[in-house]
Structure 1
Amino acid sequence: MRAVFVDANPTLGDLAERLRKPSDPPVGVNRQPDVKPEDLPAVLNGAPVAWIDHTYLPTAIAAQCKGLKHVVFLGTGARSYMHVEELASLGIEVHLIKGYGDTAVAECAFALMWAAAKGFARMDREMRAGNWLRLDGVELTGKTVGLIGYGGIGAEMARLCRGAGMKVLAWNRSAKSADGVRFVSIDELLAQSDVVSVHLLLNDETRGFLSAARIAQMKRGAILVNTARGAVVDEAAMIAALKSGQLGHAGLDVFDVEPLPKDHPLTKLDNVTLSAHSAFRTPEASMNLIEAALNHTRRIAG
């Protein structure tokens, strides 16, 4: 049994080599993170297990990867990079890693919410350009945050927001309960929330979930935070709402196309704070991630 980490950045590559035990199956680490899909058959070179962080794996390419039986996707958003059911039809099982970065992602969402409320990003840009721009911020204490999706990240976001004196509403696809959190319908959440934070996995049911119609239900001037997946939100509708003032600000870590193209419309809006899909990137989360990938590989080999 042999695994290949096909697209390791320096941090994750170093961790994979450092955390792997002598008794573990061998894990080859490819340190060229910008792997093209057509390169995967050669990079894997017959390995039955592929660790994938951010490389697209089209089904037609997977069929060319002789011996491939398992994909360990480093996160939960595999559907953004591959068609899980089509891979299953080829006898390739996709393994996800949940929970490794719940706190890291929630802290990023929390930080984006505050940056949006205070206008820090715009003031920073203007001051670097020599302009003394002073903006009125929003006081979040006492405001209502609505969490769309209440898994591990949503629960961590709720903890942080409650600690900041915010009221917390949540909507989840399955019934849940939590101290200090009021679970409501999606319509009520959108209508009552001063901040809406998205924490849904991307699948066929959630793609485009925050549609133009749902954005129109939000409080005018509300803040939108997305650290889940770009495709959960209708990007064109969000941009239109930001331009019209229906949305007061958006704090975004994820996008329909990544990396975000130069001169993308979002880069031209003052009421947007952007981060480069980095919510999960902390030393603690990275260690959790690689240890979980090794555990998957140990289980597969066993």
Structure 2
Amino acid sequence: MRGVFVDANGSLADIFEQQNKAGDPAVRVNRNADITPDQIPALLDGAEIVIIDHTSLPTEIARRCNGLKHVVFLGTGARSYMNPEELAELGVIVHLIKGYGDTAVAECAIALMWAAARGIAKMDREMRVGNWLREDGMQLTGKTLGLIGFGGIAAEVARIALGSGLKVAAWNRSPKQFAGVAFVSLDALLAQSDVVSLHLLLNDETRGFLSRERINAMKPGVILVNTARAAMVDESAMIEALKSGHIHHAGLDVFNTEPLPAGHPLTKIPNVTLSAHSAFRTPEASENLIHAAWQHCRRIAKEA
């Protein structure tokens, strides 16, 4: 059984090759991370396993991949890059990797929250062009952080936030318990939270979850943090709320179009802090990610 890591950047390629053990399935690493979907069939050349970091795999492209049986997607957000149900109809199984970067993403969410509360990015931009900008920030101690969705990442956010003096509320689709966290209705969370942070998986149920109606139901002057998926938020409604001040500031790591195009409306709004979909990018998380990818490949080969 053969595999190809089709879009490895330099650091992931190095880690992948370092973790290769004797007896592992043969997996070739393509070190050109900037490939297009049309290049995938030729890169695979009949291999049964494709490892994908960030490249789309449209169903029509997968049909051209002779022999393909397994997609190992490096993360949980495969739906942003492919249609798992359509691939399953072709006999292709999509394997996800959960939990590898919970702490990394949580720390980024916390960093975006604090940067938004204190206007750090805005002050930095202004000072670089000679403006001595000083504005009152939001003191977060004693404020309420509302977590929408409560998986591993949200649990890490809660741990850090509770240790920093915030109150933490959460809403989850299934019952959960976590020391110090108040689980409340979604309506209550939106109305009461000074900061709202998204931690849902993207699927048909959560696409557009933070709708215009729900944005309007948020507490005036709220901080919004999204390190999950952009498609869960009504972008136009969010932009309107940012311009009106209903949302005081947004810290965003994910976008509907990535890379974010120059001149995009979000780049022109001062009360937004932007991060280039990098919440998960730490050496520790990368090690965990590649270890899990190899575990998938080894299991697939063993079961073949």
AA of the residue aligned to 1:226: N
Structure 1 residue aligned with 2:103: 103
Deviation at 1:3, TM superposition (A): 1.1
Deviation at 1:2, TM superposition (A): 1.1
Structure 1 residue aligned with 2:144: 144
Structure 1 residue aligned with 2:64: 64
Q: Aligned equivalents of 2:277 and 2:167: distance in 1?
A: 27
Deviation at 1:22, TM superposition (A): 1.9
- Identity over the aligned pairs, expressed in percent? 71
Within the alignment, does 1:160 sit opposite 2:160 as a pair? yes
SS of 2:72 mapped into structure 1: strand
Q: Aligned equivalents of 1:56 and 1:145: distance in 2?
A: 34
AA of the residue aligned to 2:20: R
* Deviations 1:118-159, CA, capped at 9 Å, x for gaps: 000000000000111111110000000000000000000000
Deviation at 1:189, TM superposition (A): 0.2
Structure 2 residue aligned with 1:12: 12
Q: Aligned equivalents of 1:246 and 1:228: distance in 2?
A: 21
Q: Aligned equivalents of 1:92 and 1:263: distance in 2?
A: 38
Q: TM-score, normalised by structure 1?
A: 0.99
Q: Aligned equivalents of 1:256 and 1:196: distance in 2?
A: 19
Structure 1 residue aligned with 2:241: 241
Structure 1 residue aligned with 2:78: 78
Structure 1 residue aligned with 2:203: 203
AA of the residue aligned to 1:95: H
Deviation at 1:97, TM superposition (A): 0.0
SS of 1:187 mapped into structure 2: helix
Deviation at 1:27, TM superposition (A): 1.2
Deviation at 1:177, TM superposition (A): 1.0
Q: Aligned equivalents of 1:11 and 1:234: distance in 2?
A: 34
SS of 1:56 mapped into structure 2: coil
Moved over 6 A (4+): none
Q: Aligned equivalents of 1:244 and 1:123: distance in 2?
A: 20
Structure 2 residue aligned with 1:51: 51
Q: Aligned equivalents of 2:244 and 2:45: distance in 1?
A: 52
Deviation at 1:243, TM superposition (A): 0.4
Instruction: Within 5 Å, give how 1:81-230 maps onto structure 2.
Output: 81-230=81-230
AA of the residue aligned to 1:161: A
Structure 1 residue aligned with 2:26: 26
Q: Aligned equivalents of 1:279 and 1:257: distance in 2?
A: 17
AA of the residue aligned to 2:74: L
Q: Aligned equivalents of 2:216 and 2:247: distance in 1?
A: 9
Let me know the Cα RMSD of the aligned residues.
0.5
Q: Aligned equivalents of 2:258 and 2:5: distance in 1?
A: 21
Structure 2 residue aligned with 1:2: 2
Deviation at 1:35, TM superposition (A): 1.0
SS of 1:204 mapped into structure 2: coil
Q: TM-score, normalised by structure 2?
A: 0.99
Q: Aligned equivalents of 2:236 and 2:163: distance in 1?
A: 34
Q: Aligned equivalents of 1:246 and 1:37: distance in 2?
A: 40
Deviation at 1:39, TM superposition (A): 0.7
* Deviations 1:64-96, CA, capped at 9 Å, x for gaps: 000000000000000000000000000000000
Q: Aligned equivalents of 2:301 and 2:135: distance in 1?
A: 57
Q: Aligned equivalents of 2:73 and 2:293: distance in 1?
A: 8
Q: Aligned equivalents of 2:288 and 2:190: distance in 1?
A: 34
